[in-house]
Amino acid sequence: MSIPVVVIMAKKPQPGRSKTRLCPPYTLKQAASIAEALLKDTIDLVNAIPGIQPAVAITPPEELSYFQNICPGHFWLLPVNGENIGECLNSTIDTVLDKGHPKSIAINADGPDLPISYLAKSLSDLDTHDMVIGPTNDGGYYLIGLKHTAPQIFEGITWSTNLVLNQTLERAKNSGLSYTILPPWHDVDTGQEVERLKLHLKNLPDDSLIHTRNLLLHLNTSPLTGK
């Protein structure tokens, strides 16, 4: 029997391209290091979900070797091309569903403290709905799941704005798709959100989010020294 797929939408962390909204207080190199730690912990999160095929969608495709080095061998690595996140999401979800998997859940790579119960709920919600979506507080979403291809929900979206969620839901309604909305969650794009994550880590088990926890413990946030 084919199993559901949970896929992380990811790019190779690079200074000057990754998490630049963290600068200041962090340097570009530090921001890329934070992005990498979040990515690795997200890989650990997805790897802990029972009964699914874990996967990573890689943009651009030529960064495949980086992900081969950091992902467990049983992860499905999916190189994808797209002009924007919508094209990448559509391509990824289509690939998963076209391979015969019954459900495709896509999540971002910078929210590794997402409760695993939210992921479990997203999978069960697709038993009775066409789409599931997890909103972020900035008007976007951290998760989207489908059991049928629906390219129209990714078309004409004003990406990287606070309109993304509402525009996506409007397209779903206009297409006659049934959907459920998960509880809101946050990603990590600003220094304030890093501080929030630090506070949250204090309430989580010491063996959780190991990569992020270890990095933030030793990171100097002085924008003058950059050390």
pLDDT band at 213 (very low <50, low <70, confident <90, very high): very high
What is the tens place of the pLDDT at every residue in 16-29? 999 999 999 999 99
Position 14 pLDDT exceeds 70:
yes
Residue 223 covered by a domain: no
User: Under a CB-based contact definition with an 8 Å cutoff, are residues 136 and 187 in contact?
Assistant: yes
What is the tens place of the pLDDT at every residue in 115-141? 999 999 999 999 999 999 999 999 999
**pTM for the full predicted model:** 0.94
Q: In what order do the strands lie in the sheet with 5-10?
A: 76-79, 53-58, 5-10, 104-107, 141-146, 131-135, 179-181
Residue 227 covered by a domain: no
The domain that contains 165 carries what CATH number?
3.90.550.10
Cα–Cα distance, 172 to 129 (Å, whole number): 12
Its domain, for residue 124, covers 5-218
Query: How many domains, the chain?
Result: 1
The two three-digit tokens of residue 7, written as one number: 């896929």
Position 155 pLDDT exceeds 70:
yes
Judged by DSSP in three states, 142 sits in strand
Phi-psi region of 194 (alpha: psi -120 to 50; beta: other; left: phi over 0): alpha
